[in-house]
Amino acid sequence: MLTPTSALTFFAACIVLALTPGPDNLFVLSHSVTHGARAGWKIIAGLCCGVLVHTLAVALGVTALLKASPAAMSVLQWGGAAYLAYLAVAEIRSAQANHDTSGSQPKAVSNLWLRGFVMNVTNPKVALFFLAFLPQFVDPSESIPLQITQLGILFALSTLLVFGSIASLAGSIAKRLLAHPSTRKVMHYLSAAVFLGIAVHLVAS
């Protein structure tokens, strides 16, 4: 079991990390501004589930095995980049289409939970980060898998707290921006640019 001191120290570190600009919070921000706070929250739910998958992978030793296989890491990396490129294309198509705001939901905002989940799970940098970060807060004399699991849950909670705040704030701005079709179109293109930027970052560094 984690000690209260270790848990609080870890949670504080997670809050700082979640506030640091990165692919995940940019992903949430772009969706929340383009599609509203509800879309952002669905993305967050997917991201948090991805965090729990990475946690389980570290606890069971799967991440260590992946790290030892450059081919597996490369497949994961390029798969994640390809999915982000697909999302960028979906946003561009939404920008080019004439959507009736009272009509059906555009394809670009379907399966939002899955978007967040796939983006997180297919990012090998997240896997390697968890492998390096979580064990620093583990007491070797206690059950390591249990402590890793507890740390992962705390990480997911910090993500929910910080990213949820981002989604809510961005969603309030979106209500004003999305009232104008021309602005809505620009936001779709900006979201596409964000996705492509994250994809390039994923494979280039």
DSSP string, 113-182: HHHHHHHHHT-HHHHHHHHHHGGGG--TTS-HHHHHHHHHHHHHHHHHHHHHHHHHHHHHHHHHHTTSHH
pLDDT at site 197: 82
pLDDT at site 102: 42
Q: Decide: 34 and 187 in contact? Cβ < 8 Å.
A: yes
Which of 42-51, 93-102, 189-198 has the least mean pLDDT? 93-102
pLDDT at site 139: 87
Closest CA to 91 of 166, 173, 196: 196
**Averaged pLDDT score across all residues of the chain:** 83
| For the chain, percent of residues with pLDDT exceeding 90 | 31
Question: Please, what sign has the CA dihedral across residues 74, 78, 81, 83?
Answer: negative
Give the residue with greater pLDDT, 122 vs 177: 122
Stated length of the chain:
205
pLDDT at site 34: 81
CB neighbourhood size of 168 (10 A): 13
pLDDT at site 104: 44
pLDDT at site 180: 66
In angstroms, the CA 82 to CA 154 distance is 30
Closest CA to 43 of 184, 193, 164: 164
Q: Is the pLDDT of residue 105 over 50?
A: no
